[in-house]
Structure 1
Amino acid sequence: MSHEKVFNGTVVLENEVLENGYIGVTDGKITEISSEKLTGEKEIDLNGKVIFPGAIDVHVHSFSNPEEGFETTSKLSARGGVTTFLDMPYDLPNPINNTEILKEKIKDLEKNSYVDIGLWGTISKRNGTEKIQDLVDDGVMSFKLSTFETDEYRFPRIPNDEIIKAMKVLADTGILVAFHSEDDEIVKGLSKQFEEENKTHNLAHAETRPPYTETSAVLMLMEFAKWTGAKLHIVHVSHPRTLELIKLFKEMGTDVSAETCYTYLLLDEDDLDKQGPPAKMNPPLRAKEDVAKMWEHLKAGDIDLISSDHIVWDIKDKEKGYENIFKSPSGLPGVEIIVRVMYDAMINRHSMSYNAFAKLMSTNAAERFSIKGKGKIEQGYDADFTVIDPNEEWEFQQENFETNIDLLPFKGRKFKGNIVASIIRGETVFDGKELQVEPGYGKFIEGSEIK
């Protein structure tokens, strides 16, 4: 059997690794996998490189800063080995809470993206549940709501009665509902108190968002999910206590999953204390001993997937936090760096397996979000691959990234393992140096088609 293309290298399958494996690809799909040599019209030799299923980042904000957008974000995604991402709904100026705005966003995606993208939807503060079914019908993959309010219109805190209504509706659709989980009243009250007392030092950000602001919100949401039958997903889990509670509810039969971000595994509150704005995010970074426990939970299988929570703010806005940490917007970039830094952390520093890396960076996301044909190197699946050179050593310097690294708290750190190719539907989108396709190559992944 001959194929259009054959890729050869160390191939990471779901439960095994082919040290010298071959992947046959035709029409963008995987047609054969073998440890024996395959023939193709074009043969791509990746000997010595590791071929993972294309990484999937379920937590990306392309439009919270309107100066960014799909072309810029998807370029960073391709350069970072992320072949598919799900874009969050909290766009500026208008969140994705009705079909008119959704349809415009899809047009933008299909014109400008380098990678494949699915879209999150959300609801307005009151009576938003009326729009849920229409958004589902038009292709939204999942819904994101919040118990904490950043902006009354764009990023509102959804009242509890509306959360219950939304969960009931979404339980009937089978679509996932995810939450930013922090207690609004506690955070706002502590923040007001600290500012009045002129406590605006870097660690004040963490001190006004203690772990119980997260755990209490997650407990409430899991109890709501138990009674409504909703498929619940908790984004950016920052503390091991939250994971303990999620594990308990899973054991009791609640359909809940846990996502953490690369930041909560690689950084701690000492980084916030020393660096300030580049290390400011919501929820905040936690104590060093809590990060160690997060790794224990990761290895035990209590974390379902890892995301970036990518957002790019104007450097001038972030710098406002150097005098008063509350003045800096929260969040940092990640889609260009998450795969390579997590590879080094998981494989080199924590001796985890290639299979575990693939599950946490791709397979589990595809399964939890029902992303058909992605997340595995398997016959019939899209030929999406993230290719890593396990031996390439690099330093976190601006020359290695298009992302402005002044927005990141990793300067000067050294890593091993780098992206040498991002392949989407059989096409090399990024060759380790430059993008090889035009904007618009990326496709919209329609959620309603995969339920």
Structure 2
Amino acid sequence: MSQLPDLVIAHGTVVNSFGRQAAHVVVDGGRIMQLLDAAEPVPAAVRTVDATGHLVIPGGVDGHCHVAQVTGRFRTLDDYRTTSTAALWGGTTTIIDFGIPRDAQESPLDAVLNKKRLAAESRCDVALHGSVVSWDETVPWQLEQLAAEGVRSVKMYTTNRGSTMASGDTILKVMREMVRLDGLTYIHAEHDPIIADCTEQHAADGHIGINHLHWTRPELAEEISVKETLAMAEYTGAPVYFVHQSTPGAVDLVTEARERGQEAYSETCPHYLTLDDTVYGSTFPEWYACCPPMRSAETVAALKERLAAGAIHTVASDHSCYDLSQKRERTDDVRFMPHGLPGVETRMPVTFTALVSESGGSVEDFVEVFSAGPARINALPRKGAIVEGFDADLVVFDPAAQLNVDGGALHMGTDFSPFEGKTLNGWPAVVVSAGRVVVDGSGFQDPGPVGRFVARNGFTEHRDALSTGALSVPVTVSA
């Protein structure tokens, strides 16, 4: 190296999903250039960060964010500048958003291209998922164009009739296309006929306000939908990823499918690991309007057990930035409320608290679900590990840091947090994104709109490259 490197993170304990080592991390040109044994002298650099007593982990990858999302008459209040800034405050250096058609006039391709244009304001790296609501003869061509753009996954909803719901026929056909295009099928799994009937029954009884949300979307609806979708994935040979699983039964169905040889993955969210359905009897039940809803305390405990056992592959925020004025417009009827919670900034401490502090998991386990797993499953090149040649997305992490959540002091562009008042462990001390220090003891160092659009690899292409060592990451690919 003929000139000084841009950055050295010195004297930290580098923790990857596959192990740890005491090391100096040398960064130049936005990439990790070297990992030097911590017993060696600290090399000179333009900037040196002393990580003594701290862990150094890969920057987080949040595989499930909704930015500037339009659903019916509601639009989330954020933009890419706001959400990417909040992500960086929370140790996440790559977010994956969704291009979901706003209505029947917007095509899947147009929805993604619109999000890609908006993402030019991002402060961190961005990848995208596509979405298909209804099938027509142009869909195969549109999916080919998305793959050429580096968008290698498509989300479909099995519920929300009249807006985002895809029929079983559409899901099956899209799965076939995703196999052809070496992509990944994302599924929001809730059985729509059960939910529609259950909701109608409760509405008839006058039990349709936010206090009753958890009654209208039973656990059975989620698990039956997972079972049906797994059958379609097995029939087509499609890799499938289930977003925001909230029940141990749903996770177990994925585990059983994997034991049969299917490529299937479970995601959960921080709120399903820490909040139970008693929140709907609280003073502010509108803080917890999301689908699926919070489950019983027994279900939450069992879900955490699955996470600690490694049966859940990623923890994503499902970030949706509404504010309380929007939430409170129709608390009398959950059918007309906007559902979704802000969470991109708090994903790190909530996950660490639930998995490590409360369940006895290791920091390596935390890195797996926070960064490495989302990067690997979503075929993100050079993300999710601290190894030479990978992007310099790094967090100097303090597992002993303990803070109480103050929703008003967060940076997500809304006025509440579902974790308000909770004491959480494990917060970032320094955040490095693409080799730039963006968060440190003096606050946020706004890099400007420097976030890159990340084109993803093909699903099996990426998996096979990892298994042959072509990407130089010693991870267990099937995990």
TM-score interval, smaller chain: over 0.9
Counterparts of 2:105 and 2:385, CA distance in 1: 32
TM-score by length of 1: 0.93
How many residue pairs get aligned? The number is 446
The aligned residue for residue 134 of structure 1 is 145
Residue 169 of structure 1: how far off its partner (Å): 0.8
Do residues 388 (structure 1) and 397 (structure 2) align? yes
Residues 245 and 432 of structure 1: is their aligned pair in 2 closer, same or farther, counting only changes over 3 Å? farther
Q: Which runs of 5+ in 2 are unaligned?
A: 70-74, 462-479
Residues 141 and 97 of structure 1: is their aligned pair in 2 closer, same or farther, counting only changes over 3 Å? farther
Counterparts of 2:458 and 2:200, CA distance in 1: 46
Do residues 430 (structure 1) and 439 (structure 2) align? yes
Q: Is the 8 A contact 1:97 1:121 kept in 2?
A: no
Residue 436 of structure 1: how far off its partner (Å): 1.6
Q: Is the 8 A contact 1:277 1:321 kept in 2?
A: no
Of stretches 283-292 and 320-329 in structure 1, the one that deviates more from structure 2 is 320-329
Counterparts of 1:129 and 1:221, CA distance in 2: 20
Residue 294 of structure 1: how far off its partner (Å): 0.7
Do residues 46 (structure 1) and 51 (structure 2) align? yes
Letter in 2 for 1:11: V
Residue 214 of structure 1: how far off its partner (Å): 0.5
Do residues 446 (structure 1) and 452 (structure 2) align? no
Aligned equivalent of 2:65, options 51, 60, 69? 60
The aligned residue for residue 88 of structure 1 is 98
Do residues 246 (structure 1) and 254 (structure 2) align? yes
Residues 96 and 422 of structure 1: is their aligned pair in 2 closer, same or farther, counting only changes over 3 Å? farther
The aligned residue for residue 23 of structure 2 is 21
Residue 326 of structure 1: how far off its partner (Å): 4.2
The aligned residue for residue 198 of structure 1 is 206
Residue 142 of structure 1: how far off its partner (Å): 1.3
The aligned residue for residue 237 of structure 1 is 245
Residue 409 of structure 1: how far off its partner (Å): 2.7
Instruction: Give SS of 1:407's match.
Output: coil
Residue 56 of structure 1: how far off its partner (Å): 0.5
CA deviation profile, 1:68-102 (whole Å, cap 9, x unmatched): 22111111111111100100222656897443443
- Between the aligned residues of both structures, percent identity stands at 27
Q: Is the 8 A contact 1:97 1:124 kept in 2?
A: no
Instruction: Give SS of 1:177's match.
Output: strand
Counterparts of 2:108 and 2:330, CA distance in 1: 34
CA deviation profile, 1:87-119 (whole Å, cap 9, x unmatched): 022265689744344334323212x00000001
CA deviation profile, 1:259-289 (whole Å, cap 9, x unmatched): 0011110111112332411112111111111
Counterparts of 2:144 and 2:111, CA distance in 1: 15
Q: Is the 8 A contact 1:259 1:304 kept in 2?
A: yes
Letter in 2 for 1:172: R
Residue 24 of structure 1: how far off its partner (Å): 1.1
TM-score by length of 2: 0.88
Residues 324 and 167 of structure 1: is their aligned pair in 2 closer, same or farther, counting only changes over 3 Å? closer
Instruction: Give SS of 2:228's match.
Output: helix
Of stretches 431-440 and 267-276 in structure 1, the one that deviates more from structure 2 is 431-440
Counterparts of 1:327 and 1:169, CA distance in 2: 34
- 1:297-336 alignment, distance < 5 Å: 297-336=306-345
Residues 358 and 7 of structure 1: is their aligned pair in 2 closer, same or farther, counting only changes over 3 Å? same
Counterparts of 1:400 and 1:298, CA distance in 2: 29
Letter in 1 for 2:145: D
- 1:269-308 alignment, distance < 5 Å: 269-274=277-282, 275-308=284-317
Residue 439 of structure 1: how far off its partner (Å): 3.0
Residue 234 of structure 1: how far off its partner (Å): 0.5
CA RMSD of aligned residues (A): 2.2
Counterparts of 2:396 and 2:104, CA distance in 1: 36
Do residues 208 (structure 1) and 216 (structure 2) align? yes
The aligned residue for residue 169 of structure 2 is 161
Residues 376 and 94 of structure 1: is their aligned pair in 2 closer, same or farther, counting only changes over 3 Å? farther
Aligned equivalent of 2:112, options 92, 102, 105? 102
Of stretches 34-43 and 333-342 in structure 1, the one that deviates more from structure 2 is 34-43
Do residues 11 (structure 1) and 11 (structure 2) align? no
Q: Which runs of 5+ in 1 are unaligned?
A: none
Instruction: Give SS of 1:217's match.
Output: helix
Residues 80 and 59 of structure 1: is their aligned pair in 2 closer, same or farther, counting only changes over 3 Å? same
CA deviation profile, 1:320-357 (whole Å, cap 9, x unmatched): 35444444321110001111222223222222211111
The aligned residue for residue 74 of structure 1 is 84
Aligned equivalent of 2:418, options 409, 421, 443? 409
CA deviation profile, 1:169-195 (whole Å, cap 9, x unmatched): 101111111000011111112112211
CA deviation profile, 1:15-41 (whole Å, cap 9, x unmatched): 3222x4211112111111132334032
Counterparts of 1:131 and 1:114, CA distance in 2: 28
